[in-house]
Amino acid sequence: MGTLPAAQMKSVPTGPNRPRADDRDGERTPMQWDSGRNAGFSKGSPWLPVAATYQRYNVEREKREPGSIYSWYAKLLQLRHENAALREGAYLPLESGNRNVFAFGRSAGSKQIVLVVLNTSPNDQAVTITGLPGGWPNSGRILMASPPAGAPPSQSFVVDPYSVLIASLR
């Protein structure tokens, strides 16, 4: 969904929902539920215009696309629901050895540790994860990754640009 640019916001008429013209930053456009009239947001007229992209970007369409942001978050919420370390585990501060990569863990006792690695840069980044209690485990498996990736074979590995890696360790 888009944000209504401040310049376009100035052209929105004043009325009960906008009692005075102001110069605030752009505003979020109405929620895009489907490709129908007013993007399914309202049967009436929303006080802000619906984004021009509503037929391409809407909840109804995102639910059908396995690679959509909606699908990613639905899987992430399901993973949290199923995984005790993510749901109620303790936070484990970890070091990645790379200022462009944020890494942390979540643990549910000593037997279940989930590693989360986030590359915030547009380039591949080499990391060496340190700080895991008991050292690097013998095994792991990917729970979620974008783009798809395998489980880190050791504490030193490379992460893709703007990637997210969530792995179960031990």
CATH number at residue 141: 2.60.40.1180
Are residues 89 and 59 located together in one domain of the fold? no
Vertex 152: Cα angle to 151 and 154 (nearest 5): 140
Are residues 103 and 135 located together in one domain of the fold? yes
Q: Pick from 127, 115, 96, 131: which is nearest to 169 by CA?
A: 115
Q: Any residues with CB less than 8 A from the CB of 126 and at least 6 apart, and which?
A: 98, 156, 157, 158
- Residue 70 included in any domain: no
**What pLDDT was estimated at residue 86?**
95
Q: What is the pTM of this model?
A: 0.78
- Residue 143 included in any domain: yes
**What pLDDT was estimated at residue 37?**
93
pLDDT in tens, 121-157: 999 999 999 999 888 887 889 999 999 999 998 999 9
Torsion, Cα 32 35 38 41, to 10 degrees, reads -40
Per cent of the chain over pLDDT 90 is 66
- Residue 76 included in any domain: no
Residues paired with 108 in a beta bridge: 112
**What pLDDT was estimated at residue 51?**
86
Higher model confidence: residue 166 or residue 6? 166
* Identity of residue 46: P
pLDDT in tens, 60-119: 999 999 989 999 999 999 999 999 999 999 999 999 999 999 999 999 876 789 999 999
Domain that holds residue 94: 84-169
Q: Pick from 156, 153, 95, 148: which is nearest to 125 by CA?
A: 156
Name the pLDDT band for 22 (thresholds 50, 70, 90).
low
Are residues 117 and 151 located together in one domain of the fold? yes
**What pLDDT was estimated at residue 10?**
73
